[in-house]
Structure 1
């Protein structure tokens, strides 16, 4: 099972090796999508978790017990085809290649099944054609 989560760390938890503990203690693979973590400051980490549903649930409970705020993504990316100009800027930041340009037509292609809703494409779009549907 795959699950995308956003973790918000308080200052005292920033130094904790969370991704290591997820793999070692819970057998959950953690793909880091976005990270904003600095010593002695609050931190934010967007992860794609991959593993057995029960192990992911246990890992989420452990993180909450460590005072890490866990937010589970439930939305999806939406592309307004009337606004999109097929510039391809979003394809360069998409970590899963859910956004690509068709090599023949140069039109934007969106593979929804590959999208992990990391939202990196949203601020990249110059015409604001990409948004989330929560």
Structure 2
């Protein structure tokens, strides 16, 4: 089973070996999708955790127990085709290649299967045509 989380680190927790502890103590793999963490400052990390459902629950409980804030909201990226002008600015920041300009028509293409929901494309769009639509995980 997989869970996607956004983990918010307070400044006193950024030096902890989170992904190592998840692997060793809980047998949970952590795939880091996006991270912005600086020494002695707060940070944010978007991760996809995979493992047994009980181990995932225990790992998330442990993360909260050490003072990390978890955002469990799930969502998907949506492109508003009425606002999009196919400028391609978002393609330059997309780490997975989910956003690409297609030839020969030079139109923006979006492959939702490749999307990591890292949200880097949202602020890059000058026309505010890219949005995160949230859904709640059960």
Deviations 1:33-76 (A, max 9, x none): 22222222222212122333332222111101111111113222
**Unpaired stretches in structure 2, ≥5 consecutive residues:** none
Q: State the match for 2:69 in structure 1.
A: 69
CA distance in 1 between counterparts of 2:114 and 2:52 reads: 19
Q: State the match for 2:91 in structure 1.
A: 91
Task: Pick closer, same or farther for the CA change 1:92–1:49 going to 2, 3 Å.
Answer: farther
CA RMSD of aligned residues (A): 1.8
Q: The residue matched to 2:15 in structure 1 has which SS?
A: coil
Task: Pick closer, same or farther for the CA change 1:50–1:93 going to 2, 3 Å.
Answer: farther
CA distance in 2 between counterparts of 1:93 and 1:12 reads: 30
Q: The residue matched to 2:48 in structure 1 has which SS?
A: strand
Preserved CA contact (<8 Å) 1:77 1:117 = yes
1:16 aligns with 2:16: yes
Q: State the match for 1:38 in structure 2.
A: 38
CA distance in 2 between counterparts of 1:96 and 1:56 reads: 25
Query: What's the TM-score, normalizing by structure 1?
Result: 0.86
Runs of 4+ in 1 over 3 A off after TM superposition: none
Deviations 1:55-106 (A, max 9, x none): 2222111101111111113222111101111122212222222222223322
CA distance in 1 between counterparts of 2:63 and 2:16 reads: 10
Preserved CA contact (<8 Å) 1:96 1:115 = yes
CA distance in 1 between counterparts of 2:69 and 2:79 reads: 29
Q: The residue matched to 1:24 in structure 2 has which SS?
A: helix
Q: Cα distance, 1:120 vs. partner?
A: 0.6
CA distance in 2 between counterparts of 1:33 and 1:39 reads: 19
CA distance in 1 between counterparts of 2:81 and 2:110 reads: 11
Between the two proteins, the alignment pairs up a number of residues equal to 134
1:54 aligns with 2:54: yes
